Every structure is written in structure tokens, then in C-alpha cells.
């Protein structure tokens, strides 16, 4: 992570009054997934989110923001062996395929002409995975 005092954009949905943060609903049609082989694609275009400028403003009691839009496409490539995971302490179990993941991302403020884009060669994750899981009342 870079110096948070040098941050100039913070595109994210904000914090709901319930305390839920950085989360928005996504249409089921936005994702295509094959849990058996660990591949998936999540795609969203022109999602309205505020630009809070920086993390400290975003988490303040009365943040200011600019109307903005983001687009992203995340790919999980799959290919590894499915691994079962069970944690009865937290009522969680599933089968997951370890996978590489990459993301293409763009963002813009509605009042500006500059579009910020990710570097396609530099947007890969470590430790991603795709699978099926059961938790809570569905655990047993």
C-alpha cells in the first residue's frame, strides 16, 4: 500500500447506516461461474459510486464525495484441484478450486474528462479461488 496521504481518489460505495461497507448488489447476470473447474467472470459496467477522494474522508462522519462511475471485469482462471474445507466452529464447509485472478478496472468522475484505467499487465491476485460453500443454517 502506498502513502494514504498521497491518495487522490477513493471510488467505493461508502458505508451504509447498518455498518455494511464497500458492498453493492450485483445482478446475477453479471457473473458466470463454473465452480467445478474454478473459472468465473464478474463484469459490471458504469456502476454509480461516489469518489470520496481518500480513505480518511470516506470513513469520516460526514464525508464529501463526487458522483462517479466505475467499470470492472474480474476473471478467475481455475485449473487446480478442488480442495474441501470444513470449519464446524463457524458452521462453514465447501469445495474450492485455487485460481489465479485478474481484473480490468476503469473509473471516472462524472464532472471530469479523465478516465483512470488499470494496467492490464499488473492486475493479478495471489490466493484467489472459486467454489461452492454452505454456512449458517445450511451447514448441516
- Tell me the residue range of the domain where 107 lies: 30-78+97-131
Which pLDDT score, from 0 to 100, does residue 136 have? 75
What's the total number of domains in the chain? 1
Classify residue 109 by its DSSP letter.
Answer: E
With respect to residue 112, please indicate whether it lies within any of the assigned structural domains: yes
Are residues 25 and 42 in contact, defined by beta-carbon separation less than 8 angstroms?
no
Residue 18 lies in a domain: no
SS (H, E, C) the chain: CCCHHHCCCCECCCECCCCCECCCCCCHHHEEEECCCCEEEEEEEEEEEEECCCHHHHCCCCCCCEEEEEEEEEEEECCCCEEEEEECCCCEEEEEEEECEEEEEEEEECCCCCCEECCHHHCECCCEEEEEEEEHHHCC
**pLDDT computed for residue 55 by the predictor:** 92
- Looking at residue 72, its pLDDT comes to 94
CA separation for the pair 82, 37 (Å, rounded): 8
Q: Which residues contact 135 (CB under 8 A, 6 or more apart)?
A: 90, 91, 92, 93
Q: What is the mean pLDDT of each run of 10 residues along the chain (140 residues)?
A: 82 90 92 93 95 93 95 91 89 90 93 90 80 80
Residue 89 lies in a domain: no
User: What pLDDT is recorded for position 1?
Assistant: 59
Amino acid at each position: 500500500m502506498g502513502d494514504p496521504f498521497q491518495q487522490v481518489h477513493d471510488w467505493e460505495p461508502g458505508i451504509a447506516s447498518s455498518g455494511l461497507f464497500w458492498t453493492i448488489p450485483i445482478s446475477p447476470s453479471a457473473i458466470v461461474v463454473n465452480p467445478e473447474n474454478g473459472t468465473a467472470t464478474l463484469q459490471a459496467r458504469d456502476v454509480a459510486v461516489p469518489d470520496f477522494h481518500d480513505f480518511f474522508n470516506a470513513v469520516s462522519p460526514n464525508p464529501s464525495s463526487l458522483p462517479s462511475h466505475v467499470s470492472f471485469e474480474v476473471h478467475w482462471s481455475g485449473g487446480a484441484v478442488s480442495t474441501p474445507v470444513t470449519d464446524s466452529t463457524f458452521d462453514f464447509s465447501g469445495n474450492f478450486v485455487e485460481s489465479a485472478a485478474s481484473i480490468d478496472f476503469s473509473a471516472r468522475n462524472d464532472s471530469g474528462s479523465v478516465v483512470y484505467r488499470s494496467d492490464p499487465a499488473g492486475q493479478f491476485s495471489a490466493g484467489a479461488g472459486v467454489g461452492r460453500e454452505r454456512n449458517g443454517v445450511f451447514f448441516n
